[in-house]
Amino acid sequence: MAILSSSKGLSKQFNFIFILPVSSSASSYVRSLGFQVIELPLIELSKRVFDNLIYLPMLIYNSIRLRRIILKYKVRAIHINDFYNLIGAVARLIVPKIKLITHIRILPNRYPGLLRKFWLEIAEHYSTNFICMSNAIKKQLKPSTKCEVIYDMPLDNEKYKASELSAGKNNKNIELLYLSNYIDGKGQNYAIKALSKAIKVNNNIKLTFVGGDMGLLKNKIYKNGLMELAKDLDVEQHISFNSFTDDIELLMKNYDIVLNFSESESFSMTCLEALYYGVPLIATDCGGPSELFIHLESGYLVQNKNIDEMVEGILFLSNSEIVRKKYSINSRSHIRKNFKISETINKFKKLYDC
């Protein structure tokens, strides 16, 4: 979704071909935007033994397929997502003249040391350009690595004015929104624990989770664990669990506060969108989010995994409509001044120009 924003902004100047995994749920959406999609049986290293056994032969197979695509469509540049994706390096080994742009979107320290070092060494050796999604990522690379920071930005296509929507679902409750897939480490468990303490001071606080399990058993187990946690802490009546919605802007603007208590975020499009749409945000200092706003001016930053600070932030914003309005105005102004889609598009244009 992030790269689609920039691609749409550059679609009149460049022809884009998206390489996606076979049967990807994103394929139909990307095609609906007018982009060509070619599906390959992409395989990543994982905890599944079978995937690891076929990883190398599939990497070679996909690289040969990619070479054919490069020659057929006279491709000038490959934009690879992420540094662990070796198909670009192998393709450039086969077609040395191709330009390889490696986009690092995940904090490198999330991977085991030796594997991380190997991937980064390969990516640095074969890439002509490195892009980091945030300074938090850049800080984890070698000082000698030349990596340009380019922030993901949604296109400036806001559909609803904040003043036309109610701040929350009613005048009594303070509605908190947690927008994230149900993945261990995304912080929903901390939000439930913080809520259980916050409602002892303000019983009108409600929390809504919106996200999906991506069809993965481990995520379904994690979601069920969250429901059990809410039951154990006796806060079920204050929490609702919902699936994703297509209209993120409308969803966010109907809530008073957005939460993001992730343990590790290289950037966080959810935080960016909340700030962009002027919805007060409370986020953990876990990487990229701290780069997006000014604490106590345009957002509220709490220490990673610190439930007491999360409670303080929730109560601080819940108890003051004046502060929430201040954050709403300041966050919209700060994002539009310091994070512009036009600058992101121009940076990508310079990279794509060969």
162-335: same fold as 2-153+340-352? yes
Class of domain 2-153+340-352: alpha beta
List pLDDT tens digits, range 11-29.
Answer: 999 999 999 999 887 899 8
Q: For residue 250, what are the CA distances in angstroms to 159, 216, 245?
A: 8, 27, 9
Please state, for a pLDDT cut of 90, what percent of the chain lies above it: 75
List pLDDT tens digits, range 77-93.
Answer: 999 999 999 999 999 99
119 against 153, higher pLDDT: 119
Q: What is the pLDDT of residue 275?
A: 95
Task: Give me the helices (H) in the chain, please.
Answer: 2-9, 27-32, 49-73, 87-94, 113-126, 135-138, 188-198, 217-232, 248-253, 269-276, 307-318, 321-338, 341-352
Q: What is the pLDDT of residue 168?
A: 47
Dihedral angle over CA of 90, 95, 99, 105, nearest 10: -10
Main-chain phi, psi angles of 175, to 5 degrees:
-100, 120
Is the pLDDT score of 158 beyond 90?
no
156 against 233, higher pLDDT: 233
Q: What is the pLDDT of residue 165?
A: 54
Is the pLDDT score of 307 beyond 90?
yes
List pLDDT tens digits, range 35-69.
Answer: 999 999 998 877 788 888 999 999 999 999 999 99
Dihedral angle over CA of 119, 3, 1, 262, nearest 10: 50
| Average pLDDT score over residue span 271-275 | 94
Residue ranges per structural domain of the chain: 2-153+340-352, 162-335
Q: What is the CATH number of domain 162-335?
A: 3.40.50.2000
Here the tokens at position 50 are 């079978």
Q: What is the pLDDT of residue 226?
A: 98
List pLDDT tens digits, range 176-203.
Answer: 999 999 999 999 999 999 999 999 999 9
Q: What is the pLDDT of residue 161?
A: 77
Q: Helix, strand, or coil here: 310?
A: helix
Main-chain phi, psi angles of 126, to 5 degrees:
-100, -15
Q: What is the pLDDT of residue 18?
A: 96
Spatial CB neighbours of 212, under 8 Å, sequence gap ≥ 6: 181, 182, 243, 244
Is the pLDDT score of 254 beyond 60?
yes
Q: What is the mean pLDDT of the chain?
A: 91
Please state, for a pLDDT cut of 70, what percent of the chain lies above it: 96
pLDDT bucket at 171, cuts 50 / 70 / 90: low
